[in-house]
Amino acid sequence: MRPRSSKTTAKTCGLSTPETVDAAIGGGASHIGFVFFPRSPRNLSFDQAAGLAVRVPSHVKRVGVFVDPDDALIEQAIGAARLDAVQLHKTAPDRIAHLRSAFHTEIWAAIAVKTRADLDAAHHYAGVAERILYDAKTPEGALPGGMGVRFDWTLLDGFRHPLPWALSGGLHTDNVGEAIRRTGASLVDASSGLETEPGVKSVDKITSFLQAVAAS
Ligand SMILES: O=C(O)c1ccccc1N[C@@H]1O[C@H](COP(=O)(O)O)[C@@H](O)[C@H]1O
């Protein structure tokens, strides 16, 4: 059991319809994630992202999810979806430093976690990212996120976080309360746990997830 200084907030990720964006906003999500990765079943075109982004009020932050993106993708996505932050998977610290100085945007560095040693990568992002996202390591060849895989939350026990952080990987309505109590996360992030099939978000699952976070 870990102490928390304030209520936990939630990012609902991989949204692709107006109904699910509205459900996330109405349910109290602090962040909404839009995926820009062609291999993902949640990938958005710039036009789709622009249409969804206009529904999001300013108190809810728009986060773009990328896998080692090139500059052109980031630039177009930031413009289309009016992103407040970018979440970068499999992106080296020097590359992140470049993107940060080129685009002056808030950066979340995703760390893939399976063992305690994996956490040490977080230290390489101090000074170049605003937040670490601890996500589960997925199987070789699979998408680096959005797979519903969780990691052993006890690995975070006693770890000295170099930056503000968020917890993700396999979270859903039935385990998010325990995840928050166990880790003390102040921000949690879920994607596939809010779906009926890959890429198809459920309004009911989004609503119950956000209720579980609020009740924790
Ligand atoms: O959601 C995706 O398709 C995705 C693709 C590539 C990188 C990250 C992706 N999603 C992120 O993965 C984590 C965990 O997802 P899940 O809850 O385990 O399904 C989450 O942060 C998503 O933003």
**ipTM confidence score:** 0.97
Q: Is 177 in the pocket of ligand 1 (CB under 6 A)?
A: no
Q: From atom 1 of ligand 1, which residue's Cα is the shortest distance away? A: 146
| DSSP 8-state assignment for residue 4 | -
Residue 3 located in a structural domain = no
Is the CB of 125 within 6 Å of ligand 1?
no
Question: At residue 147, does pLDDT exceed 70?
Answer: yes
The domain in which residue 34 lies consists of 9-215
Residue-wise pLDDT tens digits, 10-25: 999 999 999 999 999 9
List of E strands, 101-202: 106-113, 131-136, 165-168, 187-190, 195-197, 200-201
Cα dihedral 186/191/193/198 (nearest 10): -170
Confidence grade of residue 2 (pLDDT, cut at 50, 70, 90): low
* 108 in a structural domain: yes
Residue 149 alpha carbon to ligand 1 centre in Å: 10
Assigned domain for 205 exists: yes
- Counting ligand 1 atoms within 8 A of each CB, the residue from 12, 43, 135 with the most, and so the one to mutate, is 135
CATH number at residue 187: 3.20.20.70
pLDDT given at position 4: 58
Q: What pLDDT sits at residue 6?
A: 74
- Enzyme catalytic residues: 13, 135
Quote the number of domains for the chain.
Answer: 1
Judge whether 63 lies within some domain: yes
Q: Of 11, 65, 151, which is best to mutate to test ligand 1, by the most ligand atoms within 8 angstroms of its C-beta? A: 65
Ligand 1 centre and the CA of 72: distance in Å? Answer: 22
Q: What are phi and psi of 69, to 5 degrees?
A: -75, 160
Amino acid at 104: H
- Name which residue sits closest to atom 23 of ligand 1, judged by CA: 13
| H-type alpha helices, the chain | 18-27, 46-53, 71-81, 93-103, 116-119, 176-183, 203-215
Would you say residue 180 lies in a domain?
yes
pTM value?
0.94
Expressed in angstroms and rounded, the spacing between residue 132 Cα and the centre of ligand 1 is 14
Whether residue 1 is contained in a domain is answered as no
Q: Report whether pLDDT(5) > 60.
A: no
The confidence score (pLDDT) of residue 3 equals 55
Beta-carbon-side half-sphere exposure of residue 16 (alpha carbons within 13 Å)? 20
Residue 202 lies in a domain: yes
Q: What is the pLDDT of residues 74-132, one digit of tens each?
A: 999 999 999 999 999 999 999 999 999 999 999 999 999 999 999 999 999 999 999 99
Q: Judge whether 2 lies within some domain.
A: no
Place of tokens 């728009």: 62
